[in-house]
A and B are shown apart, each in its own frame.
Chain A
Amino acid sequence: DQQVKQNSPSLSVQEGRISILNCDYTNSMFDYFLWYKKYPAEGPTFLISISSIKDKNEDGRFTVFLNKSAKHLSLHIVPSQPGDSAVYFCAASARGGGSNYKLTFGKGTLLTVNP
């Protein structure tokens, strides 16, 4: 039972254009969402997060949108740069239930930004 789904295994965009990565979740208890970027042979690097009390959070070229009714979030990267090429993971946490802060991850989307 996959509670966090990234249905696009890969995405290819041109440098300077917008990259949109999507994520769906099924567990209505999730209330905190994060995006991580991962290069080969390295650990995931935190990018941006959003709490369920918000519907948008922006940090430089990165914006995350949350649609709670649809249980959907997306990461927008504008403008895309070749250095953004990596695997992007969506992760979710259900913090309201007490001491359990573990992250549940999707399978990732490989983003390739072409020069």
Chain B
Amino acid sequence: DTGVSQDPRHKITKRGQNVTFRCDPISEHNRLYWYRQTLGQGPEFLTYFQNEAQLEKSRLLSDRFSAERPKGSFSTLEIQRTEQGDSAMYLCASSLGLAAVVETQYFGPGTRLLVL
């Protein structure tokens, strides 16, 4: 399978704990995105990497959130001191960004986080 993969698929944690999610994009894709989806809503943009550079962060991404993409391959999203409001599906997407070419983002299966 050469699609976007995410690990873990489900995570249950207690309020105040730290959690880390991993995303492996499609291998040749240079752009990687994190989104969050809550019940009844569409996915909302969190942050975006081009290769290893984090180029944009949404205001939804509080100081408790940090994302990395070392070496421009896989990415991690860490949430520190989790709160119940962090409960959501966290989606990763990747795309092949070429100048002047329309690009399509392909999504992974998501990590569902439940904070108790």
Do they bind each other?
Answer: yes
Q: Which residues of A are interface residues toward B (Cβ below 8 A)?
A: 4, 32, 34, 36, 41-46, 49, 51, 89, 91, 95, 99-108
B107–A43 CB distance below 8 A? yes
Nearest-neighbour CB distance to chain A for B31, whole angstroms, equals: 7
The total of Cβ contacts below 8 Å across the A-B interface reads 65
A99–B42 CB distance below 8 A? no
B4–A49 CB distance below 8 A? no
Q: What does DSSP make chain B's interface, helix, strand, loop or mixed?
A: strand
- The CA of A42 and the CA of B4, in the complex, are separated in Å by 12
Chain A residue numbers with a CB within 8 Å of B91 are 43-44
Chain B residue numbers with a CB within 8 Å of A104 are 45
Which of B6, B31, B107 interacts with A101 by CB under 8 Å? B31
B55–A46 CB distance below 8 A? no
> How extensive is the interface on chain B, given as a class?
20 to 34
A-facing residues in B55-101 (Cβ within 8 Å): 55-56, 91, 93, 95, 97
A105–B42 CB distance below 8 A? yes
A102–B48 CB distance below 8 A? yes
Chain B residue numbers with a CB within 8 Å of A44 are 43, 91, 107
Chain A residue numbers with a CB within 8 Å of B109 are 41-43
